[in-house]
Amino acid sequence: MGRENTKCITSIGGQALVEGILMRGPKVTETAVRLSDGTISTKQVATSFMKDKHFIMGLPIFRGIAAFIDSLSIGYKALSYSVEKAGLDEEEEMTKFDKWVQKTFGDKMMNIIMVISTIIGVLLAIGLFFVLPTFIFNVIRDFGPGAQIEPWRSVVEGAMRIAIFIIYIYLCSRVPDIHRLFQYHGAEHKTIFCYENNEELTVENVRRHSRFHPRCGTSFLVIMLLIGIIVGFFIPFGNPFVRTAVKILCIPLIVGIGYEFIRLCGRTDNIFTHIVSAPGLWVQRLTTQEPDDSMIEVAIEAMKKVIPENGEDRIKVLDGEN
């Protein structure tokens, strides 16, 4: 599955939200959310970029770390807004506990829930993707082949990590609310492709385009997993907790390298970048779904708000013939 050919590419990127889309342009970041009454609510998200504050954060590798932190910060704000505006729980009757939480924390309740959810998510990710593969490998080594399998630790752990990631994404995609999130993800990609082909942003035009985009966060995560296998060869520790601690310390380096690969794939079109992009595009079969027209409308609304008038978002693509 190759990338869709476009007349140009844009630096504009997006993120799927709860019943909404975030679009981030060179100057403006906009959130569009479908409300329960069918209307679309938009809000400009305040942004500040680390690369503008610190010179070193604009250099290769470091700029990837900066972009990752910026994306987490902006995405957290936008997700909080979308959850609040979408009103997913309005039809559910509040329990006594819900009423107590609402009375105790008031307007801060949503922020508290988001913080707790983030902490639980981080701990779950560390357990699933770091501790568990190392623990399983140690069991296999001790009760199976023995020391001769040790040189292949990083490959085996990496394969397990990728398998866990794919299974986790697949199971998430079966949850109705997550499935809708993945549909909005598809709408985001289709809308960006439509814009990159210099077509008018209409539902009909957007729908024709692919939902698989090479500069996607999914592709970034897959590349990080693959780079993590290489980095793992240089970590000599076998204890699950020590090895996990060292891997966590290596995450900034992996993020920085992964960003450079994604950046290269977005700006260069040749056989090498096609190969690098292929695994991420394949996994996007799980993380993106075909959107309905109402979702595309939300993506278009967000996109229109961030398109600069001077075309500063346009990036020249270098193909294999240049």
CA angle at 248 for the pair 258 and 162, rounded to the nearest 5°: 60
Is position 134 within any domain? yes
Residue-wise pLDDT for 187-246, tens only, equals 999 999 999 999 999 999 999 999 999 889 999 999 999 999 999 999 988 888 899 999
pLDDT confidence bin for 145, thresholds 50/70/90: confident
CB 17 within 8 A of CB 187: no
H-only helix segments in the chain:
50-53, 62-86, 96-105, 109-126, 132-143, 153-173, 176-196, 203-207, 217-232, 240-267, 271-287, 293-306
pLDDT confidence bin for 89, thresholds 50/70/90: very low
Within 8 A by CB and 6+ apart from 151, the residues are none
Tokens read off for 202: 């209409």
Is position 52 within any domain? no
Is position 245 within any domain? yes
Hey, which of 73-82, 112-121, 156-165 has the most confident mean pLDDT?
156-165
CA pair distance 270, 321, nearest whole angstrom:
8
Is position 199 within any domain? no
Total of domains in the chain: 1
Which of 48, 34, 123, 113 is closest to 80 using CA atoms? Answer: 113
Tokens read off for 236: 């000599």
The answer to pTM > 0.85 is: yes
CA pair distance 308, 17, nearest whole angstrom:
23
- Tell me, rounded to whole angstroms, the distance of Cα 181 from its chain centroid: 12
User: Which is it for strands 40-44 and 29-34: parallel, antiparallel or unpaired?
Assistant: antiparallel
Is position 23 within any domain? no
Which of 197, 185, 154 is closest to 314 using CA atoms? Answer: 197
Q: Which of 193-197, 249-253, 256-260, 266-270 has the lowest mean pLDDT?
A: 266-270
Burial of 34 per CB tally in 10 Å (0-12, 13-18, 19+): buried
CA pair distance 144, 139, nearest whole angstrom:
8
CA pair distance 263, 265, nearest whole angstrom:
5
Q: What domain range includes position 106?
A: 98-174+212-287
Is position 184 within any domain? no
CA 62 to each of CA 10, 65, 67, 259, 260: distance values in angstroms, whole numbers, following the listed order? 22, 5, 9, 9, 10
Is position 238 within any domain? yes
Within 8 A by CB and 6+ apart from 232, the residues are 153, 154, 157, 158, 247
